[in-house]
């Protein structure tokens, strides 16, 4: 394998799954001797998030003060953020830039190799959330920036083959993004007594998570359906909840403790480029009840119970059936854990190091 770059500037945000992805990847790269500068965009991280990064060798968190592309109203703010990222890359002597927001790459100056990771975008989110309506014209600027960023990339990656196809179709890319599955390192936990509960986790405020559907399903269940995550978005929108048992934002330790009880884990998401929370639950041996979407089929077919549509009764019936059948629940949890072994952080890091090396070599050859 060609030598990978030794200093990488990687963009990150503290709002959703990109934080977990970037911090975990930076830690794995550190083990391989690579230095990563995490350039934070958007809302400030929590004290716990700052402390987490501070403990990782060869990883530095820089809070740029720049906004996230999907929390702005026009291209000017994104272009300003791109200029800031370029200056940081120069100041920290980066060999390569890893951008986790495609729109940001559209006007990123400089000649460093650039990996653009498509974890989600406004246009593909909108298609899943509101399939009957075309993209709001007020958001055309974002789609245009994302398209430009994807085309400027040295390499484009996506966390699943299904989302790679979606990105290529949405933006008319000539080549499919490289699918590199996300990964997690399972957290060892002491055995505990299984609880007959259901559990979901994520950005509950996000329309595509379909929290109202799970709330309606919870109203039909005899057992509680617990939900971890925020019901209020960074831009102020919120989702009303009546029947879910809200836990708020859980620490890593609290999430591990919850999953150790092996609840039935539920995700009703209609848009999910990968789903790290699902992987974490699977690695803990939880039985999975998932929406019947392409990404989940790609990753978990044969290791999860799938529910199609948005009928609360169908969701509550699927959850209740597993809660009432310990043998079926245990078998499905074992299948999920076995499948989860495929998606490790080590595998993700190895694939990324190879991609970084190839991108850098190709960039040098083209110079």
Determine contact, residues 146/121, Cβ cutoff 8 Å: yes
Determine contact, residues 327/194, Cβ cutoff 8 Å: no
Q: Which domain holds residue 77?
A: 7-184+344-366
| Domain tally, the chain | 2
- CATH code at 250? 3.40.50.2000
pTM of the complete model: 0.94
Q: Nearest Cα to 181, choosing from 352, 364, 361, 359?
A: 352
State residue 63's pLDDT score.
Answer: 97
Q: Which of 49-53, 334-338, 361-365 bottoms out in mean pLDDT, i.e. has the lowest?
A: 361-365
Considering the domain architecture, whether residues 158 and 222 belong to the same structural domain is answered as no
Considering the domain architecture, whether residues 204 and 165 belong to the same structural domain is answered as no
Distance CA 350, CA 366 (A): 25
Q: Which of 156-160, 177-181, 185-189 bottoms out in mean pLDDT, i.e. has the lowest?
A: 185-189
- Average pLDDT for 309-322: 98
Q: 223 CB contacts (<8 Å, ≥6 apart)? A: 196, 197, 198, 319, 320, 323
Distance CA 156, CA 176 (A): 8
Considering the domain architecture, whether residues 156 and 17 belong to the same structural domain is answered as yes
State residue 124's pLDDT score.
Answer: 97
Q: 219 CB contacts (<8 Å, ≥6 apart)? A: 242, 243, 312
Reading the block at residue 83, the tokens are: 């200029």
Does residue 192 belong to any structural domain of this protein? Answer: no
- Average pLDDT for 231-235: 85
State residue 367's pLDDT score.
Answer: 47
State residue 29's pLDDT score.
Answer: 97
Does residue 2 belong to any structural domain of this protein? Answer: no
Considering the domain architecture, whether residues 177 and 211 belong to the same structural domain is answered as no
| DSSP secondary structure letters along 146-180 | HHHHHHH-SEEEESSHHHHHHHHHHHT-SSPPEE-
Q: Which three-class secondary structure state does DSSP give residue 62?
A: strand
In the predicted structure, residue 1 carries a pLDDT above the cut 50: no
Q: Which of 155-159, 189-193, 330-334 bottoms out in mean pLDDT, i.e. has the lowest?
A: 189-193
Bridge partner residues of 63 (DSSP): 40
Considering the domain architecture, whether residues 326 and 348 belong to the same structural domain is answered as no
pLDDT in tens, 106-140: 999 989 999 999 999 999 999 999 999 999 999 99
Considering the domain architecture, whether residues 356 and 234 belong to the same structural domain is answered as no
Q: Which of 77-81, 180-184, 236-240, 270-274 bottoms out in mean pLDDT, i.e. has the lowest?
A: 236-240
Considering the domain architecture, whether residues 47 and 147 belong to the same structural domain is answered as yes
Considering the domain architecture, whether residues 27 and 150 belong to the same structural domain is answered as yes
In the predicted structure, residue 103 carries a pLDDT above the cut 80: yes
Q: Nearest Cα to 41, choosing from 12, 17, 61?
A: 12
Determine contact, residues 80/107, Cβ cutoff 8 Å: no
Q: What percent of the chain lies above the pLDDT cut of 70?
A: 97
Distance of CA 71 to the CA centre of its chain: 17
State residue 366's pLDDT score.
Answer: 53
Q: 159 CB contacts (<8 Å, ≥6 apart)? A: 21, 117, 119, 179, 180, 181, 182, 273, 274
In the predicted structure, residue 269 carries a pLDDT above the cut 70: yes
Considering the domain architecture, whether residues 171 and 277 belong to the same structural domain is answered as no
Determine contact, residues 268/209, Cβ cutoff 8 Å: yes
- Average pLDDT for 360-365: 68
- Average pLDDT for 142-159: 97
In the predicted structure, residue 2 carries a pLDDT above the cut 80: no
pLDDT in tens, 4-57: 789 999 999 998 889 999 999 999 999 999 999 999 999 999 999 999 999 999
Considering the domain architecture, whether residues 167 and 274 belong to the same structural domain is answered as no
State residue 191's pLDDT score.
Answer: 65
Considering the domain architecture, whether residues 313 and 333 belong to the same structural domain is answered as yes
Q: Which of 23-37, 222-236, 317-331 bottoms out in mean pLDDT, i.e. has the lowest?
A: 222-236
Q: Which pLDDT band holds residue 82 (cuts at 50, 70, 90)?
A: very high
Mean pLDDT of the chain: 94
- The DSSP output letter for 106 is G
Considering the domain architecture, whether residues 70 and 170 belong to the same structural domain is answered as yes
Q: Which pLDDT band holds residue 363 (cuts at 50, 70, 90)?
A: low
Q: Which pLDDT band holds residue 195 (cuts at 50, 70, 90)?
A: confident
């Amino acid at each position: 394998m060609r030598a990978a770059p030794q200093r990488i500037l990687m963009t990150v945000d503290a709002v959703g799954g990109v934080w977990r992805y970037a911090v975990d990847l930076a830690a794995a790269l550190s083990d391989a001797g690579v230095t990563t500068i995490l350039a934070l965009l958007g809302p400030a991280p929590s004290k716990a998030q700052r402390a987490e990064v501070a403990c990782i060798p060869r990883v530095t968190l820089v809070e740029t003060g720049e906004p996230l592309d999907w929390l702005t109203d026009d291209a000017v703010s994104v272009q300003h953020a791109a200029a800031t990222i370029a200056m940081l890359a120069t100041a920290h002597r980066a060999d390569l830039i890893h951008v986790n927001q495609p729109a940001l790459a559209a006007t990123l100056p400089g000649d460093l190799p650039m990996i653009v990771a498509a974890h989600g975008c406004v246009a593909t989110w909108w298609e899943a959330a509101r399939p009957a309506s075309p993209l709001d014209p007020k958001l055309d600027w974002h789609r245009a920036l994302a398209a430009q960023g994807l085309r400027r990339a040295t390499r484009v990656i996506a966390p699943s083959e299904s989302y790679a196809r979606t990105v290529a179709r949405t933006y008319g890319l000539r080549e499919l993004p490289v699918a590199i599955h996300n990964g997690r390192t399972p957290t060892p936990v002491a055995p505990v007594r299984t609880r007959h509960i259901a559990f979901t986790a994520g950005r509950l405020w996000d329309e595509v998570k379909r929290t109202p559907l799970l709330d309606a399903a919870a109203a039909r269940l005899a057992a509680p359906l617990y939900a971890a995550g925020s019901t209020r978005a960074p831009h102020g929108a919120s989702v009303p909840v009546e029947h879910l048992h809200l836990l708020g934002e859980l620490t890593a330790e609290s999430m591990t403790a919850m999953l150790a009880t092996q609840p039935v884990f539920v995700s009703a998401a209609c848009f999910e480029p990968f789903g790290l929370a699902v992987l974490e639950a699977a690695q803990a041996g939880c039985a999975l009840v998932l929406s019947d979407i392409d990404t989940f089929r790609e990753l978990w077919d044969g290791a999860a119970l799938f529910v199609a549509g948005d009928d609360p009764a169908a969701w509550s019936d699927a959850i209740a059936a597993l809660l009432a059948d310990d043998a079926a629940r245990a078998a499905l949890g074992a299948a999920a854990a076995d499948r989860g072994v495929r998606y490790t952080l080590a595998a993700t890091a190895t694939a990324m190091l190879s991609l970084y090396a190839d991108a850098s070599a190709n960039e040098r050859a083209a110079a």
